Amino acid sequence: MNRRELEFIEGIVKYDEPMNHHTSFRIGGPADVLIEPSDAGDLLNILRYAKENKINLFVLGGGSKILVGDKGIKGFVIVLNNPNFSYMKFKGEVVETGCGTRLSEFLSEATQWNLGGCEFLAGLPGTIGGALVMNAGSPSNGIGDFLEEAVAIKDLEVATLKKSQIEFSYRSSRLNEFILVSAKFKLIKKDDDVIRAELKSNLDRKRRVQDLSYPSVGCIFKNPSEDISSGKLIELSGFKGHSVGDASVSTKHANFILNLGCARASDVLRLIDEIQKKVFKDHGIMLELEVKLIGEF
């Protein structure tokens, strides 16, 4: 790739950038080019260049629900780190925010404005954009429940999508077809002490049941249903503590795979394959991945 041709980019450009620096798993080979656009105009110019030159492009949120291959990512990786993508504006119960805003910042700012409803997101890493794409949340709630509209790009066209157009479901939405720029949420007016208590309760519960001792992506598999826990099925199949290389199933929460230090994507994939085959053999259920596989393995 001719680096001079990318001098039109106003934001930050990094070449051969190790992706293990940008994911919660701390796993992944290098991205050919990692770009942090300066604003929406810069982003559109980058998208146009990528389309005209047939360059593969991936938009990275907080890196919390992806496994990047050991051979890295060919083409462009876009990260919306610039403050132009992480602003927040408040008007009554409606919050407009850039999709690069971290979930922790979103919750903290909303609390200061006495706005709640999304306390179930407490403790989740990542950004607003990434959370919307996968409809992040708890078993009974998703961030999409509070969305009013989102500004998104598809085929170099900027569109405002209403909630009814997005088709949110459990850990899924239509938004993976788009690049998200900003979003509006309608939250619930609450006393800030009540919000803080709920945030603390959710954080405490997650710390009790989830394994935060090593890098991970949280739950690897979706739950088959509201009544069936993937973690329980994996535990019943005897995988707690089972390892492939430095990738190990947590002894605390069996739906967590931990990076004990130097795990490779290939280790995680092998462990995933072993779990899926054994759980299917034992319980007749094929577990579906919640984590996305990105790049070359």
pLDDT, tens digit, 9 for 90 and up, residues 106-148 = 999 999 999 999 999 999 999 999 999 999 998 889 999 999 9
pLDDT for res 140: 85
Q: Which residues of the chain are modeled with pLDDT < 50?
A: none
The model's pTM is 0.92
Q: What would the 3-class secondary structure string for the chain be? A: CCHHHHHHCCCEEEEEEEHHHCCCCCCCCEEEEEEECCCHHHHHHHHHHHHHCCCCEEEECCCCCEEECCCCEEEEEEECCCHHHCCEEEECCEEEEECCCEHHHHHHHHHHCCEECCHHHCCCCCEHHHHHHCCCECCCCEHHHHEEEEEEEECCEEEEEEHHHCCCECCECHHHHCEEEEEEEECEECCHHHHHHHHHHHHHHHHHHCCCCCCCCCECECCCECCECHHHHHHHCCCCCCEECCEEECCCCCCEEEECCCCCHHHHHHHHHHHHHHHHHHHCCCCCECCEEECCC
**pLDDT value at position 139?**
80
pLDDT of 30 reads: 99
- Please report the pLDDT score of residue 218 as a whole number: 94
Please, what are the domains in the chain? 3-83 (3.30.43.10), 86-207 (3.30.465.10), 211-294 (3.90.78.10)
Q: What is the pLDDT at residue 228?
A: 95
Q: pLDDT at position 66, please?
A: 97
